[in-house]
């Protein structure tokens, strides 16, 4: 289990992109963001380095900085499991091949998830779940992440469904980094998922087993 967390830590240091928070942590050294080069015409050109230059993975003492960050973590990304879809959008979705609920249903079939499977592992009422399946409600980002973990979705399939619902993996948020790692590594063991969530203070998902 320790090796699993170490691998997650490495991924987190590489991906986490809340640089405003990182640069305030004790021990963090702000890198030089400006550079210059002499090009073929003999002129010197100055340019700004990409934001990734501020990544935690590039800090010499990244372990101690990450430890300080973990002490300050708290999950504030609460959301309900759904929101109603306006009637005009619902009518449009009837004729759209890529309507969110249609894509969701395709994924449920792909991963062989029945309604009973979802209701057994996800904290959601049967009525709301059927409303989402029929395109009456739009799932929240937290619910999509929950479904992806519960159903063993690939990271690509989870991203596709997020995009259709106008969300994305945003690496400024701890939860998004941790869940993307779990999906990419196809981690389905509930004990390992719970351990990762405990380590990074991830909450507000709808998994019953955690």
pLDDT tens digits, one per residue of 160-182: 999 999 999 999 999 999 999 99
**pTM, full prediction:** 0.90
Out of 65-69, 82-86, 197-201, which region has the weakest mean confidence (pLDDT)?
82-86
What is the structure's pLDDT at 39? 82
The Cα–Cα gap between 57 and 68 comes to 15
Across the range 68-91, mean pLDDT stands at: 89
For the chain, percent of residues with pLDDT exceeding 70:
99
What are the residues whose beta carbons fall under 8 Å from the beta carbon of 90, sequence distance 6 or more?
A: 135, 136
Q: How far is CA 171 from the centre of its chain?
A: 7
> Would you say residue 210 has pLDDT above 70?
no
pLDDT reported for residue 94: 83
**Start-end of H helices in 16-140:** 19-22, 62-71, 87-94, 100-110, 115-121, 126-133
The model's confidence at residue 38, banded by pLDDT at 50, 70 and 90, is: confident
């Amino acid at each position: 289990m320790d090796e699993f967390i170490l691998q997650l830590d490495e991924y987190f240091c590489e991906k986490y992109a809340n640089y405003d928070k990182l640069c305030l942590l004790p021990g963090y050294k702000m890198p030089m963001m400006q550079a210059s080069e002499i090009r073929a015409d003999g002129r010197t050109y100055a340019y700004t380095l990409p934001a990734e230059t501020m990544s935690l993975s590039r800090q010499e003492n990244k372990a101690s900085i990450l430890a300080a960050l973990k002490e300050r973590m708290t999950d504030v990304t609460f959301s309900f499991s759904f929101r109603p879809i306006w009637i005009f959008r619902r009518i449009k979705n009837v004729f759209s091949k890529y309507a969110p609920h249609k894509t969701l249903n395709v994924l449920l079939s792909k991963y062989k998830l029945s309604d009973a499977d979802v209701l057994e592992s996800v904290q959601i009422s049967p009525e709301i779940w059927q409303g989402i399946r029929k395109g009456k409600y739009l799932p929240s980002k937290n619910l999509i992440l929950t479904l992806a973990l519960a159903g063993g979705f690939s990271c690509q399939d989870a991203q596709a469904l997020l995009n259709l619902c106008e969300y994305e993996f945003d690496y400024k948020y701890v939860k998004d980094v941790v869940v993307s790692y779990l999906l990419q590594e196809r981690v389905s063991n509930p004990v390992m998922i719970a351990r990762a969530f405990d380590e990074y203070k991830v909450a507000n998902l709808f998994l019953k087993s955690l």
